[in-house]
Structure 1
Amino acid sequence: MNDLKVTASGSRGSIAPRLRVAIVTETYPPEVNGVAMTLGRIVAALLQRGHVVQLLRPRQFDEVSPPEQVDLEQILFRGMPIPTYPELRVGFPSRGRLLKLWKQKRPDIVHVVTEGPLGWSAVNAAHALHLPVSSSFHTNFQSYSRYYGMGWFRTLIEGYLRRLHNRTLATMVPTRAMMQDLQALAFDHVTLLSRGVETRQFSADKRSQGLRERWGVGADDLVIMNVGRLAKEKNIGVVVAAFKAIAHRLPTARLVFVGDGPERKQLKENCPIAIYAGVQQGEALAMHYASADVFLFPSLTETFGNVVPEALASGLAVVSYDRAAARELITTELNGVAVPGNAEIDFIEAALSLALNRQRQSTIRKNAAASVAHLHWDAIYDRFVEVLSDVIQLHGQQHAGAASIKSLDLVESGCRLD
């Protein structure tokens, strides 16, 4: 597209091409998960910056038609529930429909967010039409396999993901550690696209004594919290084990789970005294975060873990394994505790030690919010557009180079080009 747009800063002296971006994903708001929420922010930012977005995704449960919005075209596809994520749907293969759509109105670039059959079809269709393609790596599906008795399946999943992503000219990942991990697995064109945190939403100022009273805790009682999907791959059992160790020493401590998932019933049986607050969003979510004291996040499968910076911004003392967002954001004893390795006993001991030392908690919590105050989403949005623009340029160079080689071959074979 040839028209121009003003950049996010609104500066008239800084203009960039207005892009038509086709985004292919199997999850999108109002679905609640890290991928959907991050993508929702990026799409909103693209529209705000004057770009045009074609969003291609499976039809969500009970969805009739998506709301109309200027410069946003939503194309819905048939899908089926994901076995371990029944609340989400995976799109069916749709190469033919994508070819028809993009022949009628070519996007400047195709960005594939999720790696299901719909994402694979999008890569195939884009290659057939000589469109530039970028992708994101959001979910460690290959690591999930061991939590569902399919560890043998890991190599096959890694091979599939590598083939898909290596057919794109950029695979965006949220941490430097993930970049190194994928590069070690022979993924090409891996580039960093970090995550931000909305500090105007998540803040210690949202703390509510009224909410704490509804939880049955006093002003000085300790509240342990976990936010996220209640599922095996989130290592939720470690949260319960750590809390039981804490409650043995601090009987008035309470555990609050914010979120829902397939393990909720089992968790209630194992830990009936915990509070199960369900899914919370917006200001209610911010209030829940800020009304806790210590945040436990033992997941070993995250590519990032948006809840870590959200908890830090909310002024909580975070205990997490030293990986993904925690490795990027937490300095132990300064603004949280990053537990080395992956041993459950080390995590439990770290959580118990922090829970028993209120002075240490206080010091960490005072530093937590300031440690993520610099994580502005605007910089993330600008970086996303920068990567898309680089991919478009690289694709053009490769295409021009291939055309030059073909022309040279024709001349050498005695063919005339005019």
Structure 2
Amino acid sequence: MHATSQPLVIENFPPLQRSLRIAVVTETYPPEVNGVALTVDRLVRGLQARNHDLQLVRPRQARLEQGGATPGFEQVLLRGLPIPRYPHLRMGMPAKKPLTAMWTLRRPDLVHVATEGPLGWSALQAARKLKLPVSTDFRTNFHAYSRHYGMGWLEKPIAAYLRKFHNLAHCTMVPTPGLQTELAALGFERLLVVARGVDTQRFLPARRSAALRAQWGVAPDELVALSVGRLAAEKNLHLLAQAHAAMRAVNPRCRLVVVGDGPERDAFEQACPDAIFAGSRSGTDLADHYASADVFLFPSLTETYGNVTPEALASGLAVLAFDHAAAAELIRHGHNGLLAPFGDADAFVRRAADLAGDPALVQHLRAAARASTLALDWSQIVAQVEAVWLRLLRQHAEGAGAPQPGALRWGPPVSGA
């Protein structure tokens, strides 16, 4: 029997009186730039702010990089290899034996596995051997990605691996009810909806920069459409090019600014020769790029969430996306953004053209965009994760032992610590 939980309703959870020792295992982490790395970083920093003792286990990103420990935070760096087609990213190598030895000497209260690579698999196996409670995140639709690399035949085997991986855990956190339903239909068990956060103090309309717009060569009254993300096949870049062309047909002064890099950059530059390619951006520089645009185009169909959607909304942009993932949760069509039916490329292009030809619509959507993200402050999201772990630890102490179908009882949130 599959769990059918609802998103946790969080009031204001104070930090716990007793800190937990939590081992977080991930195969990507800043300064690597991707949604998983940035989300894990925010989780780690939020847990530290709530007085928890964190051990971060990840691959070494540079040959001479060293781990280390400060009060309340330890980094354990293990061997890694470059990921094919993404040489700037690394995946961890199998490490069950050293993880088992390390956690035997200093036992964590809980292990949280954020990624499903060889290192994540080793962490699951080590935690099970030591009878530690373990949670996982479902963050990337790797099975869907295979279709975009000419390997559609791998979709079912990859989905089977991901199902086996996550079903070994006591619970798997997913960002939206829609993804929970999709994964439950594929046989994933013990799924719990925990939202993702956005830094509303960094991403905000006040960061709009006239100087940056001048650098792009656009006047104050000209429309700027923005895209932020990896320039890779799974991001549906051909549809982004079509939407941009439709916008230019309606409004020849419309400009497209592309933030990000990746294996498809050269091909996309040829498809959109009049676009402005800003490369990878991070921090306040990225926030400036968001706020200095007017419209955000997000044609991806493979996201588990899509962190760029709440970032764009928080920055006050008129967002166009498919009715999927974060956009389906955060956007009310015609109020704070526009939605196209999932997979309907023609509708996406038509709505992009609508934005290009209707300045009043753009201003209406922009005015309502930011308010839809204010409840996604990271402190509230970290409190949700903490509440999940508290419940998991209590049930584990009651003798739940190894994960069993339907074993976890996700009722109303536990109040207090």
**Shared fold per TM-score greater than 0.5:** yes
Partner amino acid for 1:74?
Q
The answer for the alignment partner of 2:95 in structure 1 is: 94
The answer for the alignment partner of 1:398 in structure 2 is: 399
Residue 293, structure 1, aligned to residue 297, structure 2:
no
Residue 51, structure 1, aligned to residue 52, structure 2:
yes
The answer for the alignment partner of 2:19 in structure 1 is: 18
The answer for the alignment partner of 1:225 in structure 2 is: 226
The answer for the alignment partner of 1:333 in structure 2 is: 334
Query: Secondary structure, in 3 states, of the residue corresponding to 1:337?
Result: strand
The answer for the alignment partner of 1:140 in structure 2 is: 141
Q: Tell me how far 1:199 sits from its aligned partner.
A: 1.4
Paired positions, count:
393
- 8 Å CA contact retained: 2:321, 2:338: yes
Query: Secondary structure, in 3 states, of the residue corresponding to 2:74?
Result: strand
The answer for the alignment partner of 2:408 in structure 1 is: none
Query: Secondary structure, in 3 states, of the residue corresponding to 2:54?
Result: strand
- 8 Å CA contact retained: 2:13, 2:383: no
Alignment of 1:273-284 (within 5 A): 273-284=274-285
Q: Tell me how far 1:399 sits from its aligned partner.
A: 4.9
| In structure 2, C-alpha distance between the alignment counterparts of 1:400 and 1:217, rounded to whole Å | 61
The answer for the alignment partner of 2:370 in structure 1 is: 369
| In structure 1, C-alpha distance between the alignment counterparts of 2:376 and 2:95, rounded to whole Å | 37
Query: Secondary structure, in 3 states, of the residue corresponding to 1:318?
Result: strand
Q: Tell me how far 1:395 sits from its aligned partner.
A: 2.1
Alignment of 1:4-403 (within 5 A): 15-62=16-63, 64-66=65-67, 68-399=69-400
| In structure 2, C-alpha distance between the alignment counterparts of 1:202 and 1:255, rounded to whole Å | 20
- 8 Å CA contact retained: 2:68, 2:76: no
The alpha-carbon distance between structure 1 residues 301 and 390, as it changes in their structure 2 partners (threshold 3 A), is same
Partner amino acid for 1:392?
L
- The CA RMSD measured in Å over matched residues stands at 1.8
Q: Tell me how far 1:253 sits from its aligned partner.
A: 1.2
Q: Tell me how far 1:193 sits from its aligned partner.
A: 1.1
| In structure 1, C-alpha distance between the alignment counterparts of 2:167 and 2:398, rounded to whole Å | 18
The alpha-carbon distance between structure 1 residues 180 and 16, as it changes in their structure 2 partners (threshold 3 A), is farther
Q: Tell me how far 1:10 sits from its aligned partner.
A: 9.5
- 8 Å CA contact retained: 2:176, 2:195: yes
Q: Tell me how far 1:62 sits from its aligned partner.
A: 4.7
Q: 1:51-78 deviations in whole A, cap 9, x for unaligned?
A: 1111111111355224643211111111
| In structure 1, C-alpha distance between the alignment counterparts of 2:18 and 2:141, rounded to whole Å | 34
The alpha-carbon distance between structure 1 residues 401 and 247, as it changes in their structure 2 partners (threshold 3 A), is closer
Which structure's relative contact order is higher, taking Cα pairs within 8 Å and 6+ residues apart? 2
- 8 Å CA contact retained: 2:250, 2:356: no
- 8 Å CA contact retained: 2:170, 2:402: no
Partner amino acid for 2:343?
N
Q: Tell me how far 1:389 sits from its aligned partner.
A: 1.6
| In structure 1, C-alpha distance between the alignment counterparts of 2:291 and 2:385, rounded to whole Å | 30
Q: Tell me how far 1:210 sits from its aligned partner.
A: 1.1
Query: Secondary structure, in 3 states, of the residue corresponding to 2:70?
Result: coil
Partner amino acid for 1:172?
M
Partner amino acid for 1:369?
R
| In structure 2, C-alpha distance between the alignment counterparts of 1:306 and 1:401, rounded to whole Å | 33
Query: Secondary structure, in 3 states, of the residue corresponding to 1:162?
Result: helix
Query: Secondary structure, in 3 states, of the residue corresponding to 1:374?
Result: helix
Which moved further from structure 2: 78-87 or 313-322? Answer: 78-87
Larger radius of gyration: 1
Query: Secondary structure, in 3 states, of the residue corresponding to 1:219?
Result: coil
| In structure 1, C-alpha distance between the alignment counterparts of 2:46 and 2:392, rounded to whole Å | 19
Query: Secondary structure, in 3 states, of the residue corresponding to 2:375?
Result: coil
| In structure 2, C-alpha distance between the alignment counterparts of 1:312 and 1:105, rounded to whole Å | 43
| In structure 2, C-alpha distance between the alignment counterparts of 1:182 and 1:279, rounded to whole Å | 32
Q: Tell me how far 1:356 sits from its aligned partner.
A: 0.7
Q: Tell me how far 1:158 sits from its aligned partner.
A: 0.8
| In structure 2, C-alpha distance between the alignment counterparts of 1:371 and 1:136, rounded to whole Å | 24
Q: 1:138-195 deviations in whole A, cap 9, x for unaligned?
A: 0000110000011110110111111110110110011111111111111111001101
TM-score by length of 2: 0.91
Which moved further from structure 2: 393-402 or 173-182? Answer: 393-402
The answer for the alignment partner of 1:406 in structure 2 is: none
The answer for the alignment partner of 1:414 in structure 2 is: none
| In structure 2, C-alpha distance between the alignment counterparts of 1:167 and 1:401, rounded to whole Å | 8
Q: Tell me how far 1:85 sits from its aligned partner.
A: 2.4
Query: Secondary structure, in 3 states, of the residue corresponding to 1:28?
Result: coil
| In structure 2, C-alpha distance between the alignment counterparts of 1:344 and 1:10, rounded to whole Å | 42
Q: Tell me how far 1:246 sits from its aligned partner.
A: 1.3
The alpha-carbon distance between structure 1 residues 219 and 129, as it changes in their structure 2 partners (threshold 3 A), is same
| In structure 2, C-alpha distance between the alignment counterparts of 1:217 and 1:123, rounded to whole Å | 51
Q: Tell me how far 1:319 sits from its aligned partner.
A: 0.3
| In structure 1, C-alpha distance between the alignment counterparts of 2:36 and 2:294, rounded to whole Å | 26
Q: Tell me how far 1:254 sits from its aligned partner.
A: 0.8
| In structure 2, C-alpha distance between the alignment counterparts of 1:334 and 1:302, rounded to whole Å | 23
The answer for the alignment partner of 2:407 in structure 1 is: none
| In structure 2, C-alpha distance between the alignment counterparts of 1:316 and 1:401, rounded to whole Å | 46
What 5-or-longer segments of structure 2 have no aligned partner? Answer: 1-10, 404-417
| In structure 2, C-alpha distance between the alignment counterparts of 1:25 and 1:15, rounded to whole Å | 24
Partner amino acid for 2:170?
L
Query: Secondary structure, in 3 states, of the residue corresponding to 1:17?
Result: coil
Q: Tell me how far 1:44 sits from its aligned partner.
A: 0.7
Partner amino acid for 1:277?
A
Q: 1:276-332 deviations in whole A, cap 9, x for unaligned?
A: 111111111111101111100010010111110110111110000000000000011
| In structure 1, C-alpha distance between the alignment counterparts of 2:373 and 2:19, rounded to whole Å | 31
